[in-house]
Chains A and B, each alone.
Chain A
Amino acid sequence: SQQGEEDPQALSIQEGENATMNCSYKTSINNLQWYRQNSGRGLVHLILIRSNEREKHSGRLRVTLDTSKKSSSLLITASRAADTASYFCATAPGAGKLIFGQGTTLQVKP
């Protein structure tokens, strides 16, 4: 069973708008990571947030983590057509292996 569940499953926005996608998980975690996958390619690591962190920024990306609600959100500001991809959250429960969610497919229309 999947540890992380992304919401929404699909998102379509116009270029320049912000995109927000959410991830919920079930057990306590060591950290939570977000990955991007362009069509037909491998996954690329975007950002890692540790369980004792609440917010993290990387360029146009902002990630929040609420361990009390077991949820995280990824915000992409001022989206571009090149941001079109699938985005996955992955959780590290304790010392265990990363577990991936099913992903959010983002389409950014020019």
Chain B
Amino acid sequence: NAGVTQTPKFRVLKTGQSMTLLCAQDMNHEYMYWYRQDPGMGLRLIHYSVGEGTTAKGEVPDGYNVSRLKKQNFLLGLESAAPSQTSVYFCASSDDMTGELFFGEGSRLTVL
């Protein structure tokens, strides 16, 4: 029962470097989401997808790009990392936009 799997779990980047976080779900969910969690800020939605081949902006999309080429995968990219993007990133999936979310274990990113 893998559920939602995120890779990598930890990453340290230098300012200006690029990287991609991968999220994979095995529940055949249509909807997938990327959140970031910062102390005192709760979870903020970065981007989301309502199905294969679709993406949409969330609350804090600047500096990030996403792709959903396959239904089971949702990639989050940082083209030029900034220290303000130091955070814990969570991927989630659901079969209903307003229903229960299933979360991954998180990816801790530090940008120096």
Question: Given contacts A42-B90, A45-B101, A95-B97, are A102 and B48 in contact (CB under 8 A)?
Answer: no
A95 near B98 (CB under 8 angstroms)?
A: yes
B104 near A88 (CB under 8 angstroms)?
A: no
User: Which B1-45 residues have a C-beta within 8 angstroms of A?
Assistant: 4, 33, 35, 40-45
Number of A-B contacts (CB under 8 A): 53
Q: Mark B43-76, 1 if CB is under 8 A from A, else 0.
A: 1110010000000001000000000000000000
Shortest C-beta distance, B74 to chain A (Å), equals 14
Complex CA–CA separation, A42 to B107 (angstroms): 10
User: Which A60-103 residues have a C-beta within 8 angstroms of B?
Assistant: 88, 90, 92, 95-103
B103 near A92 (CB under 8 angstroms)?
A: no
Q: Could you say which residues of chain A place their CB within 8 Å of the CB of B98?
A: 30-31, 92, 95-98
Complex CA–CA separation, A40 to B104 (angstroms): 11
Closest to A42 in B: B103
Shortest C-beta distance, B30 to chain A (Å), equals 13
Complex CA–CA separation, A96 to B99 (angstroms): 11
Q: Could you say which residues of chain A place their CB within 8 Å of the CB of B42?
A: 2, 88, 100-103
A48 near B105 (CB under 8 angstroms)?
A: no
B45 near A97 (CB under 8 angstroms)?
A: yes
Shortest C-beta distance, B60 to chain A (Å), equals 12
Complex CA–CA separation, A102 to B37 (angstroms): 10
User: Which A13-61 residues have a C-beta within 8 angstroms of B?
Assistant: 30-31, 33, 35, 40-45, 48
B43 near A45 (CB under 8 angstroms)?
A: no
The 3 closest A-B pairs by CB, nearest first: A42-B103, A92-B98, A102-B42
Measured CB to CB, the residues of A under 8 A from B are 2, 30-31, 33, 35, 40-45, 48, 88, 90, 92, 95-103
A42-B105, A92-B98 given; name 8 further pairs at CB < 8 Å. Answer: A42-B4, A42-B106, A43-B101, A43-B103, A45-B101, A98-B101, A100-B43, A100-B44
